[in-house]
Structure 1
């Protein structure tokens, strides 16, 4: 229990901190989300290699054959890279608080894609929970859209992030190659190609602008890294700590507990944006977020109950 509580609290702290650190980089003018996420994903993948060597239960099996890479792991890595890129791109245009509110909408998109792919059956309770999530978020977006800080480009970037994240979840089910990868293998065999795709995108689309900004002077581009290198080193390091604490938390707590902790963490980040950066959030947005959060918890509870193994009957027909 102590391991579960401690690791969950650490995960909440580290996952909140990585959001704060990344948004801090963007606020300083380092507007290169593919670079930031690529370096962070590379640190997480290296942690996967370290975990595989450290833990007997997380040993890395031989590298999957090319067929598995091309048909299963690479498409999932591409969806992961797109989700991470668009999610961080949204931070350039939207407030931290508003993005945390929008995050509650991702499960609704995931469920709809699962239903379309015939991986999920839409029951009445699930429909109610998803309607609560969608209705709450729609209300919050309607209020925010009238504010000067609202950016349609940022909103579309976040929706692209949610859609690609849902596609990653669905793709992981449809493209499963029969192997069940442990945490270390997932971080390594999916994380490394994800990092490679993000860093390749950074080299093509962001590096020329970064070098031009550096050459122009004025403390932009790589000059920002030289001026405060610890912030740039801390962000990927914390990304690895997020995965480490997540690994211990998932193994020591229930899925529902972990998801509720994620809701609490998002609320804390919303509060941070309001209190530290003075981001505006209205009463109607708080109400919409509360409705969507309640819907998400209901959704998580229904999903968890559906995956519980049912008691098997004895020969006499009675169950324990």
Structure 2
């Protein structure tokens, strides 16, 4: 049966959103690696780079929310809620970005993407700790298989750096904690922040939290090496890409689904591995690829399981709504019959 013009258009638009997100995510990762790597642009100041991103994103988010009013602030966001919920999330986000960007100084792009496959493991483990997930032997076996795949990839890494791996694993833990706390502190209260309002609230917090380690660790080096003279074209376009990526996330999830983003993320990871090997000339070994393929299978199965659970939950809600509607109609008919009598 031929597809209607509306369906074809919808599919093409979805693919366009996916392509935009992949391109922007790809660009931000490679751009950050280029700036921070000592052999490339040679500006190894990850805290400073993250602060530049947060300052740029804070400014644009403020303009979009308060001046141009592209999106509205959540009415339920109070000062108390901000201090108890948004500030801890901002602190975790700043640590996640700091350590993640720091890892680019020591590790290849391809190996970092392989380590990021541990994110479902960290989220599920923390979900058990905070009692947001229930223990299932099947899911735990899946988590072990992902961890095993990443371990094999690490074993085959030609330029393994223990400090770089530690930084990236810490970034994964902080990011997973942030995601779990968003569910506990915000989503449980019915507050949902899109990427623009998230940056509006969170980016200034990140800026404040990062200023402390920046003053201690990077400011003296920047001052002594005269590295304060920034290339506004390089850092401006880099920051613009980072902000555009947040908008792309908003469009992709809003117009398609979070599952589509997860699938697109897998495609992006393989593209980055191929780019890292062919263009940047990073060494990617067969053991690397075999390990990541094992982890990839585990992540794919995890996403499939989450999708099936989501479908089952939606079907249950629809069935419950149908029962409630049928009961309401029955009550109306009974009341009408009683009036006639």
TM-score (norm 1): 0.88
CA distance in 1, matches of 2:118, 2:193: 28
Whether contact under 8 Å (1:44, 1:243) holds in the other structure is no
Q: Secondary structure at the match of 1:91?
A: helix
Does residue 128 of the first structure (1) align with residue 137 of the second (2)?
Answer: no
Q: Deviations over 1:244-300 (max 9, x none)?
A: 111111111122111010111111111111111211111111011111112112112
Task: Select which of 259, 265, 276 maps to 1:262.
Answer: 265
CA distance in 2, matches of 1:13, 1:4: 14
TM-fit CA distance, 1:236: 0.6
CA distance in 1, matches of 2:78, 2:152: 48
CA distance in 2, matches of 1:138, 1:212: 40
Q: How does 1:69-218 map to 2 (within 5 A)?
A: 69-144=82-157, 147=158, 149-176=159-186, 178-183=189-194, 184-214=196-226
**Cα pair distance change 1:252/1:64, threshold 3 Å:** closer
Match of 1:217 in 2: none
Runs of 4+ in 1 over 4 A off after TM superposition: 53-56, 313-316
Match of 1:16 in 2: 26
Q: How many residue pairs were aligned? A: 305
TM-fit CA distance, 1:119: 0.7
Q: Secondary structure at the match of 2:225?
A: helix
Whether contact under 8 Å (2:74, 2:191) holds in the other structure is no
Residue ranges of structure 1 left out of the alignment (5+ in a row): 215-220
Match of 1:276 in 2: 279
Match of 1:5 in 2: 15
Range moving further from structure 2, 45-54 or 125-134? 45-54
Residue ranges of structure 2 left out of the alignment (5+ in a row): 1-9, 327-341
TM-score (norm 2): 0.83
- RMSD in angstroms over aligned alpha carbons? 2.3
Q: How does 1:213-252 map to 2 (within 5 A)?
A: 213-214=225-226, 221-223=227-229, 225=230, 228-252=231-255
TM-fit CA distance, 1:190: 1.6
